[in-house]
Amino acid sequence: MKKYLVLLCIISGTNVFAQLPEDALRYSWYPQNGTARVLAIGGAMGSLGGDITATFVNPAGLGFYKTGDAVISPGFFLNKVKADYFNNRTVENKNAFGFGPSGFVMGAPAAFKTNRSYAFSIAVTQAANFNNVIHYKALNHLTSFSEQFAEEFAKSGYSIDQVLDVNSPLPYTSAPALYSFLIDTVTIGNVLKVKAAPEYILDAGQALQQEMFKTTSGGVYEVALGGAVNLKEKWLFGGSVGIPLINYKSNTTFKESDTSTNTNNFFNAYEYNDNFTTQGVGINIKLGAIYRPQEYFRLGLAVHTPSFMWLTDKRTTTLNTQLENPVKGFSATSTDFTNNQPGNSKYTQSSTWKAILSASYVFREIENVKKQRAFITADIEYLNHNGSKFRSDNPEVTLGEKAYYKDLNEAVKDEYKGALNFRVGGELKFNTIMGRLGFAYYSSPYQDATLKASHMLLSGGLGYRNQGFFIDLTYIHNITKDINFPYRLQDRDFSFASIKQQQGNIAATVGWKF
Amino acid sequence: MKFKFLLLAVSAAVLASCSTTYKSGQTPDDVYYSPKRALEENHNRQQDEVKNVSSEDREIRMSTYDRRWRSIDTDYNYDYSYSPYRYGYDYGYYYNPYYYPCPVYTKGVAIRNPINTTPRTANLRTYSNSNTLITNQKTSGTYQVNSRKAYTNSNGSTGSFIRRVLTSAQNNSYNNNRSPDNNNRTYTPSNNNTNSNNSNNQGSKSSGSVSRPSRGN
């Protein structure tokens, strides 16, 4: 009961804590994945159809199939990430394997109805690839990373004993910081205040050397079952049920150190490690229609429901602090404050819905492949990044938790916005050989125009199709601009790093017709 | 990672072993045009021939060739056929090896420490909408922006002044107007459990607390 009262005090007071709004963006702001052929044309698959990628974009496109496909789509990512923080640039590289849509499509004419055909697919894809690295370091004379702990503890209304409980309400942040004396109470002008040790350096007009190193891995892997019907080659309708499997791993190390030669100013250095995993499963539905007003033209519309996901976070943090005057080191780990086992938080998250409008021009929709010449296709996609909703799924949900998640949903709504994405691409076909080019642009999900963010993808590829076998190879160059906040403060100005990522993606698709 | 490679290799081998009807002739491209498969076309042709023949017509036709068809009475809907998998004439009595009429007790239930379910936390006030004072490091003045948060970016437009100050400084010492005393960070526990834990003291402990080490002097 005491804990509930304290939680309610926090809510009614000036400060509210909850799951991070950034978690919403993780499951909405990433480029469309596809087979190598689709990636080469910018990922546009809203109206073109005839490819297994349609299962994940516009399932009506499966309706073009009257034959069968079996495909696998391996890929390889080469990441080069530049981070600018207080005018200091740091560059890191990270490579990773991935894969696009792989599985089976089976199409066949209807048994007793002419001018009608059906198609079904079962496929798996890596919808999002989280393999990345962010590294930056610079001198900061304005704020300290540790001030977020001081701020959190001061505004929480908890006593030191409550925070240092073996089942602490602030086990990952304030508890290790208090235990290792990175933050502590200090009397200033007869008032007992909470102060972080690095603040002594900043108050003296000197700078802190800050360094952040964050690696992430995993992805969203989606298994989907799709089906479509083709009515008189005029209207195609389709739907798919997707089961996203979420596996996200994040390891963050943040270091701060005193840059002065003064060994009597209470603070030398600390290193904070924050490791957590998010795992879970979800479900979503995609519905679509394609209309062919006349030969060569295809118009498409698709709507994706939000993915409703059941997620579990497991988290541990460690903190090593080196103090001065007297010189002494302290180490703390969050498991000391979570009953000697990693913290385990369960919650549900519904991601964003999206709608895709698309058009294609296919030059010569004819059986003789020697006379098939080219196509051009384009998608416009609307996606509301601020539509994500969180809810606690812990076995015992307190009133405080309910209020946390309600405020979090409001914060997500305020922080992000709906965005338009654009994909365009085309192919030239020379009997068995094909050449392709594509372009895609994903606009900023942030409400605040100060925060520059976008994905721009340029792609090109080749394909070969003969003797019941096909292979496609594509290179995609993804230029991503984004921002990264190492920490946020309520009472002081805080800074962010500008991220510019150059990602090369080599994608291949091998397939057999049956 | 090795598992992924193995999975890919096995998948490729399985798929490659699939028989294909398109090893000779043209390979259809479903993006442009998807033809009916050769086998299906033959099948459909046969279906076209018989699909207009009703089952009654078929029975009459067959009965002219085979007398066994003459005794078939399809109007009789009761099913007295024997099935070895049905027991008790479908009255719901059947043997279920997993059903046992007595409660089953499991033993050895492990008792564990309660799991800490605290979510990852963020101060949502740092995302919320409020007017913010941005500090200009060059003039030591401030200006108000209608921003939802207070951030100073050394790389962005609002933070260009900070970059100049930083790059010109050589001794890591700056003339900032950071207020040393933050009056918003007073230690005021809500339950009056105010164990004074000044930096030179060792904190007192409740029964459930982790003991802080000595800070020393």
B118 contacts on A by Cβ (under 8 Å): 168-172, 338, 343, 345
| Contacts (Cβ under 8 Å, ≥6 apart) of B110 | none
User: Residue B119 has what pLDDT?
Assistant: 75
Label residue A376 by pLDDT band (50, 70, 90): very high
| Maximum Cα interatomic distance, chain B, rounded to a whole number of Å | 113
Asked if pLDDT for residue A247 goes beyond 70, the answer is yes
User: Residue B101 has what pLDDT?
Assistant: 53
Taking an 8 Å cut-off on Cβ atoms, the answer to whether B212 and A164 are in contact is: yes
Taking an 8 Å cut-off on Cβ atoms, the answer to whether A375 and B32 are in contact is: yes
Q: Which residues of A361-370 are buried (b: 16+ CB within 10 A; e: fewer)?
A: ebbbbeeebe
What is the arithmetic mean of pLDDT over A81-96?
Answer: 94
B212 contacts on A by Cβ (under 8 Å): 160, 164, 178-179, 181
* Higher-pLDDT residue of A19, B146: A19
Label residue B191 by pLDDT band (50, 70, 90): low
Counting Cα atoms < 13 Å in the Cβ hemisphere of A190 gives 0
Taking an 8 Å cut-off on Cβ atoms, the answer to whether B119 and A404 are in contact is: yes
Q: What is the DSSP string of A42-55?
A: TT--SS--SSGGGG
B45, closest residue in chain A (CA to CA): A111
**A279/A309 Cα distance (integer angstroms):** 10
Asked if residues A286 and A56 have their Cβ atoms less than 8 Å apart, the reply is yes
User: Residue A90 has what pLDDT?
Assistant: 94
* Higher-pLDDT residue of B161, A6: A6
Label residue B184 by pLDDT band (50, 70, 90): confident
| Contacts (Cβ under 8 Å, ≥6 apart) of A62 | A49, A54, A55, A105, A107, A119, A120, A121, A226, A227, A228, A238
**DSSP code of B82?**
-
- Cα–Cα distances (Å) from B77 to A30, B54, B56, B127, in that order, read 59, 19, 16, 70
What is the arithmetic mean of pLDDT over A390-394?
Answer: 89
Token pair, residue B194, equals 């105010």
Of B22, B118, B153, the CB nearest to A468: B22
Q: What share of chain B is helix, strand, coil (3-state, %, to 5)?
A: 25, 10, 65
User: Residue B110 has what pLDDT?
Assistant: 60
User: Residue A281 has what pLDDT?
Assistant: 97
Asked if pLDDT for residue A95 goes beyond 70, the answer is yes
What is the arithmetic mean of pLDDT over A220-248?
Answer: 96
Please enumerate, as own/partner, the contacts of B3-10 that have beta carbons within 8 Å and a separation of 24 or more.
B4/A97, B8/A72, B8/A74, B8/A99
**A489/B127 Cα distance (integer angstroms):** 10
* Higher-pLDDT residue of A314, A404: A314
What is the arithmetic mean of pLDDT over B188-198?
Answer: 55
Q: Give the burial class of A82: count Cβ atoms within 10 A of its Cβ; 0-12 exposed, 13-18 middle, 19 or more buried.
A: middle
B19, closest residue in chain A (CA to CA): A514
A476: closest CA among A17, A34, A133?
A34
| Contacts (Cβ under 8 Å, ≥6 apart) of B69 | B59, B62, B63
| Contacts (Cβ under 8 Å, ≥6 apart) of A375 | A48, A360, A361, A362, A363, A426, A427, B31, B32
User: Residue B57 has what pLDDT?
Assistant: 65
A221: closest CA among A101, A303, A312?
A101
Rounded to 5°, the CA angle B23-B25-B29 comes to 85
Asked if pLDDT for residue B93 goes beyond 70, the answer is no
Counting Cα atoms < 13 Å in the Cβ hemisphere of A469 gives 11
Q: What φ, ψ does residue A407 adopt, rounded to 5°?
A: -70, -35
User: Residue B60 has what pLDDT?
Assistant: 67
Residue tagged 């059906």 (tokens): A118
Preferred mutation among A202, A407, A513 to probe B, highest tally of B CBs within 10 A: A513
> Would you tell me how many other CB atoms lie within 10 Å of the CB of residue A77?
19
Interface of B with A in 69-98 (CB under 8 A): none
* Higher-pLDDT residue of B123, A213: A213
What is the arithmetic mean of pLDDT over A225-241?
Answer: 96
What is the arithmetic mean of pLDDT over B22-34?
Answer: 84
- Cα–Cα distances (Å) from B172 to A133, A492, B155, in that order, read 28, 20, 19
* Higher-pLDDT residue of A267, B10: A267
User: Residue A483 has what pLDDT?
Assistant: 93
Label residue A111 by pLDDT band (50, 70, 90): confident
Label residue B5 by pLDDT band (50, 70, 90): low
Q: What φ, ψ does residue A340 adopt, rounded to 5°?
A: 60, 30
Residue tagged 């006349």 (tokens): A294
Rg (CA), chain B: 41
* Higher-pLDDT residue of A451, B40: A451
Label residue A65 by pLDDT band (50, 70, 90): very high
Asked if pLDDT for residue B180 goes beyond 80, the answer is no
Asked if pLDDT for residue B100 goes beyond 90, the answer is no
Of A50, A187, A497, the CB nearest to B198: A187
Tens digits of residue pLDDT in A430-446: 989 999 999 999 999 99
Asked if residues A227 and A238 have their Cβ atoms less than 8 Å apart, the reply is yes
Does residue A224 sit in helix, strand or coil?
Answer: strand
Asked if residues A44 and A63 have their Cβ atoms less than 8 Å apart, the reply is no
A276 contacts on B by Cβ (under 8 Å): 120
DSSP E strand stretches across A130-266: 132-140, 183-188, 191-196, 208-231, 235-258
**B55/A425 Cα distance (integer angstroms):** 53
A148 contacts on B by Cβ (under 8 Å): 123
Residue tagged 């596996």 (tokens): A247
Token pair, residue B92, equals 């719901």
**A104/A82 Cα distance (integer angstroms):** 39
* Higher-pLDDT residue of A502, A396: A502
What is the arithmetic mean of pLDDT over A361-379?
Answer: 92
Asked if pLDDT for residue B138 goes beyond 90, the answer is no
Q: Which amino acid is at A115?
A: N
Tens digits of residue pLDDT in B57-83: 666 666 666 666 665 555 544 445 554
Residue tagged 């235990």 (tokens): A179
- Cα–Cα distances (Å) from B17 to A119, A513, B9, B12, B173, in that order, read 23, 12, 12, 8, 71
* Higher-pLDDT residue of A111, A323: A323
User: Residue A261 has what pLDDT?
Assistant: 85
Asked if pLDDT for residue A264 goes beyond 60, the answer is yes
Tens digits of residue pLDDT in A500-509: 999 999 999 9
- Cα–Cα distances (Å) from A411 to A111, A183, A453, in that order, read 54, 28, 19
**B88/B85 Cα distance (integer angstroms):** 10
Label residue B131 by pLDDT band (50, 70, 90): very low
Token pair, residue A245, equals 């499997």
User: Residue A126 has what pLDDT?
Assistant: 96
Smallest CA–CA distance, residue B164 to chain A, in Å, is 9
- Continuous segment of H or E residues that includes residue A105: strand A102-109
User: Residue A443 has what pLDDT?
Assistant: 96
Asked if pLDDT for residue A389 goes beyond 90, the answer is yes
Rounded to 5°, the CA angle A334-A188-A192 comes to 50
Tens digits of residue pLDDT in B156-167: 433 333 332 322
Asked if pLDDT for residue B153 goes beyond 60, the answer is no
Of B27, B124, B191, the CB nearest to A407: B124
- Please state, rounded to an integer, the average pLDDT across all residues of chain A: 91
User: Residue A304 has what pLDDT?
Assistant: 97
Tens digits of residue pLDDT in A404-420: 888 889 989 999 999 99
**B77/B75 Cα distance (integer angstroms):** 6
Helices and strands, number each (H, E), in chain A: 8, 24
Write a three-state SS string for A177-211: HHHCCCEEEEEECCEEEEEECCHHHHHCCECEEEE
Asked if pLDDT for residue B102 goes beyond 80, the answer is no
User: Residue B173 has what pLDDT?
Assistant: 36
Asked if pLDDT for residue A134 goes beyond 90, the answer is yes
Asked if residues A505 and A152 have their Cβ atoms less than 8 Å apart, the reply is no
Q: Beta partners for A440? A: A423, A457
**A314/A488 Cα distance (integer angstroms):** 22
Label residue A180 by pLDDT band (50, 70, 90): very high
Asked if pLDDT for residue A393 goes beyond 70, the answer is yes
